[in-house]
Amino acid sequence: MLQSAVPELAHAQTRPVHWVATAAAVAGVVAFSALVQPGPATAAQAAAGTHGGSAPAAAAPPGTAGVAFPLECGPVEPVVARKASGDLDGDGRPETVAVVHCDAPMGTPPDGVYVLTRSADGGRPRVVATLVEPGQRFTVTDFAVRARAVSATLLGYSADDVPSCCPDVKTPARWRWNGRAFVRSTPAGAHSV
Q: pLDDT for 57-94, tens place per residue? A: 568 899 999 999 999 999 999 999 999 999 999 999 99
Task: Measure the CA–CA gap between 158 and 193, rounded to whole angstroms.
Answer: 10
Question: Residue 149 belongs to what H/E stretch?
Answer: strand 149-156
State percent of the chain over pLDDT 70: 66
For residue 184, the tally of other CB atoms under 10 A from its CB is: 13
State mean pLDDT over 106-118. 91
Q: Whole-prediction pTM value?
A: 0.67
Q: How confident is the model at residue 15, as a pLDDT? A: 54
pLDDT band, residue 10 (cuts 50/70/90): very low
Q: Which helix (H) or strand (E) holds 144?
A: strand 139-146
Q: What is the CA radius of gyration of the chain?
A: 30
Count how many Cα atoms sit within 13 Å of the Cα of residue 122 in the half-sphere of its side chain.
4
* pLDDT computed for residue 119 by the predictor: 79
Contacts with 168 (C-beta within 8 Å, 6 or more apart), sequence order: 157, 158, 162, 192, 193
